[in-house]
Homo-oligomer: A and B are copies of this chain.
Amino acid sequence: MSILVVGSVAVDNIETPAGSRSRILGGACTYFATAASLYAQVRMVGVVGQDFPQEHVRFLQGRNIDLRGLQVVEGETFSWSGRYGDDLGDAETLDTRLNVFADFQPTLPEDYRRTPYVFLANIDPDLQLHVLSQIESPRLTALDSMNFWMGSKREALTRAMSLVDVVLLNEAEVIQYAGEPNLIAATQAILDLGPKALVVKRGRYGALLVTHGESIGERFFLTPAYPLARVVDPTGAGDTFAAGFMGYLAQTGDLTVGGLRRAVVHGTLVASFTVQDFSIDALRNLALADVVTRYDDFHLLTHYDDGPCPGQERLQRSIMDNQP
């Protein structure tokens, strides 16, 4: 099943303790599409300037990514410059040049409208709503966002979150949106808006999935991240997390609670590969078999009990059957 992604395509300038890179391929849409193409056919909706290097276009085409939704317009491509400190936590933004991205109006080729899986990467929530309104009977829709829109476009973001099936945010964003310092309590404020599931990305600490369900064990899924003794560049971790998550769902069609949990694990594993090199470089030669090998490692490193898991049959219900 194919996946539509709308978001930024960028050229980045990155400094990390491992080194610096100039004008490398970046942007949420690019990261997502590259990683999700391991699992399914991807359709990109984005915009670049005429300066966008042809080698990047050829690379994306080589991943069998449908680029008919990638507009090439007069001007320069969106560019972001950022620096990471020794702890590889949040980046310090050194420069943001929106360029052609400032006037981005996502338009979907006719046949894109019936794409079954839709991921709205972090862009203006009004544009996310605009894309959603063009989609016809999707199987699963999801969105990402960021702190910036929680202040400036809170109403549109709230509406967008109420319309999609899955919301993906990082921990600080959930806390900020809810105005509640306890993450677990804060997740409820977002789930109450209407989505079937909320995925909270916690970086090196893994992820949290919240679905509707009766008991705590059924409602929450918590997973650590894959342990890495060296991280080169955290850029794109969240976007490729989303790609592993959506990719697994699109490939398997499994929308049970258990399926979403495995999708979260795929997300955290795909992200763990991404951060081992700059840009999408670690994904260039990555095969799905490599992710599955790491999945087996991960299974062993989260394993602690051979006994039966009480209530596991409740993880086999579809998230689409359970309304808030």
Contacts and interface: CB of A to CB of B under 8 A. Distances in A.
Interface residues of A, number: 53
Contact of A301 (B86, B87, B220): B220
Contacts of A227: 184, 208, 216, 220, 222
Contacts of A208: 224, 227
Nearest to A185: B229
A303 B299 contact: no
A184 B223 CA distance: 17
A306 interface: yes
A311 B302 contact: no
Given A229-B184, A231-B182, A299 B309 contact: yes
A288 B173 CA distance: 37
Contacts of A104: none
A50 to B, nearest CB: 41
A87 B299 contact: no
Contact of A304 (B87, B216, B220, B265): B265
B216 A297 contact: yes
B182 A216 contact: no
Interface string A254-295: 000010011011000000000000000000000000000000
A149 interface: no
A188 B230 CA distance: 13
A189 to B, nearest CB: 11
A297 B215 contact: yes
A301 B229 contact: no
A103 interface: no
Contacts of A304: 221, 223, 258, 261-262, 264-265
Contact of A300 (B298, B301, B310): B310
A219 B297 CA distance: 10
A314 B183 CA distance: 36
B302 A221 contact: yes
A102 interface: no
Contacts of A218: 300-301
B303 A261 contact: yes
8 contacts: A183-B204, A206-B222, A218-B300, A224-B224, A299-B305, A300-B309, A300-B311, A303-B315
**4 tightest A-B contacts by CB?**
A217-B300, A222-B224, A261-B304, A217-B297
Interface of A: 86-88, 181-185, 188, 202, 204-206, 208, 215-225, 227-231, 258, 261-262, 264-265, 296-307, 309-312, 314-315
Given A261-B304, A299-B305, A303-B315, 4 more contacts: A220-B301, A261-B303, A299-B310, A300-B312
